[in-house]
Structure 1
Amino acid sequence: MKNFNDLLSKYAKLAVSVGVNIQDGQTLVINSPIECAHFTRLLAKEAYNLGAKDVHVEWNDDELTLMKYMNAPCEVFEQFPKWKVDTYETLAKEGAAFLSISASNPELLKNVDPDKVALSNKVRSKALKNYREYVMGNNVSWCVVSVPTKDWANKVYPNLSPEESVEKLWDSIFKIVRVDSDDPIKAWDNHIKMLNEKVEFLNSNKFKTLHLTSEGTDLTIELPPKHVWTGGGEYNTKGTYFVANMPTEEIFTLPLKTGINGKVKSTKPLNYSGNIIDNFTLTFKDGKIVDFTAEKGYETLKKLIETDEGSCYMGEVALVPHNSPISNLDTIFYNTLFDENASCHLAFGMAYPICLEDGNKMTEDELIKQGANMSLVHVDFMIGSHDLDIVGETIEGKRIQIFKDGNWA
Structure 2
Amino acid sequence: MTDPRHQKLAQVLINYSLGIQPGDKLIITAPAAAAPLVKEAYREAIRAGAHVMTRITIDGLAEIRFRESSDEQLRFVLEPERQEIEYFDAMLRIMADENTKSLTNVDPNKLAIAQQARTDIMRRYLERAATGELRWCLTLYPTHAYAQDAEMSLEEYENFVFNAGLIHHDNPSESWQQISKKQQEIVKLLESHDEIHIVGNDIDLRYRVGGRKWISADGKHNFPDGEVFTGPIEDSVNGHIRFSYPAVYNGREVENVRLTFQDGKVVEATASRGEDLLNSMLNVDEGARRVGEVAFGLNYDIQKFTRNILFDEKIGGTMHMALGRAYPETGGTNASAIHWDMIADLTDAKVYADGELIYENRKFKIW
* TM interval, short-chain normalised: over 0.9
Cα RMSD for the two superposed structures: 2.0
Structure 1: how far apart are the matches of 2:171 and 2:262?
48
1:219 matched to 2:205: yes
The equivalent position to 1:295 in structure 2, one of 268, 272, 275, is: 272
Do the aligned partners of residues 137 and 313 (structure 1) sit closer, same or farther apart at CA in structure 2, a change above 3 Å counting?
farther
Equivalent in the alignment of 1:190: 178
Question: What SS class does the counterpart of residue 295 from structure 1 fall into?
Answer: coil
Equivalent in the alignment of 1:90: 87
The equivalent position to 2:214 in structure 1, one of 229, 238, 250, is: 229
1:408 matched to 2:360: no
Question: What SS class does the counterpart of residue 132 from structure 1 fall into?
Answer: helix
Equivalent in the alignment of 2:300: 324
Structure 1: how far apart are the matches of 2:17 and 2:197?
33
Structure 2: how far apart are the matches of 1:299 and 1:134?
34
Deviation at 1:130, TM superposition (A): 1.9
Do the aligned partners of residues 124 and 259 (structure 1) sit closer, same or farther apart at CA in structure 2, a change above 3 Å counting?
same
Deviation at 1:375, TM superposition (A): 2.1
Equivalent in the alignment of 1:333: 306
Structure 1: how far apart are the matches of 2:141 and 2:321?
25
The equivalent position to 2:222 in structure 1, one of 241, 245, 253, is: 245
1:146 maps to amino acid: L
Structure 1: how far apart are the matches of 2:249 and 2:86?
25
Question: What SS class does the counterpart of residue 143 from structure 1 fall into?
Answer: strand
Question: What SS class does the counterpart of residue 296 from structure 1 fall into?
Answer: coil
1:390 matched to 2:351: yes
Structure 1: how far apart are the matches of 2:199 and 2:39?
46
Deviation at 1:336, TM superposition (A): 0.8
Deviation at 1:141, TM superposition (A): 1.3
Contact kept in structure 2, 1:211 and 1:219, CA below 8 Å: yes
Equivalent in the alignment of 2:328: 353
Structure 2: how far apart are the matches of 1:213 and 1:270?
20
Structure 2: how far apart are the matches of 1:109 and 1:58?
22
2:9 maps to amino acid: Y
1:210 matched to 2:196: yes
Do the aligned partners of residues 59 and 388 (structure 1) sit closer, same or farther apart at CA in structure 2, a change above 3 Å counting?
farther
Structure 1: how far apart are the matches of 2:166 and 2:65?
38
Contact kept in structure 2, 1:137 and 1:352, CA below 8 Å: no
Structure 2: how far apart are the matches of 1:117 and 1:290?
23
Deviation at 1:292, TM superposition (A): 0.3
Question: What SS class does the counterpart of residue 157 from structure 2 fall into?
Answer: helix
Question: What SS class does the counterpart of residue 46 from structure 1 fall into?
Answer: helix
TM-score, normalised on structure 2? 0.92
Equivalent in the alignment of 2:71: 74
TM-score, normalised on structure 1? 0.83
**Percent of counterpart pairs with the same letter?**
28
Structure 2: how far apart are the matches of 1:228 and 1:88?
25
Describe the superposition over 1:217-238 as per-residue Cα deviations: whole angstroms up to 9, x where unpaired.
Answer: 1111122x311222034xxxxx
Paired residues for 1:88-237 under 5 Å: 88-91=85-88, 96-104=89-97, 105-157=99-151, 165-203=153-191, 206-223=192-209, 225-233=210-218
Contact kept in structure 1, 2:247 and 2:257, CA below 8 Å: no
Deviation at 1:63, TM superposition (A): 1.3
User: Which blocks of at least 5 consecutive residues in structure 2 are unaligned?
Assistant: none
Deviation at 1:40, TM superposition (A): 1.0
Deviation at 1:317, TM superposition (A): 1.1
1:269 maps to amino acid: P
Greater shift, 277-286 or 33-42, is seen at 33-42
Do the aligned partners of residues 372 and 131 (structure 1) sit closer, same or farther apart at CA in structure 2, a change above 3 Å counting?
closer
Do the aligned partners of residues 74 and 228 (structure 1) sit closer, same or farther apart at CA in structure 2, a change above 3 Å counting?
closer
Deviation at 1:58, TM superposition (A): 2.6
Structure 1: how far apart are the matches of 2:96 and 2:282?
24
Contact kept in structure 2, 1:280 and 1:292, CA below 8 Å: yes
User: Which blocks of at least 5 consecutive residues in structure 1 are unaligned?
Assistant: 234-241, 357-370, 394-398
1:344 matched to 2:319: yes
Structure 2: how far apart are the matches of 1:316 and 1:352?
7
Contact kept in structure 2, 1:267 and 1:385, CA below 8 Å: no
Describe the superposition over 1:177-235 as per-residue Cα deviations: whole angstroms up to 9, x where unpaired.
Answer: 000011212211211111112222222xx212111112111111122x311222034xx
Deviation at 1:71, TM superposition (A): 3.0
Contact kept in structure 2, 1:106 and 1:335, CA below 8 Å: no
Contact kept in structure 2, 1:137 and 1:353, CA below 8 Å: no
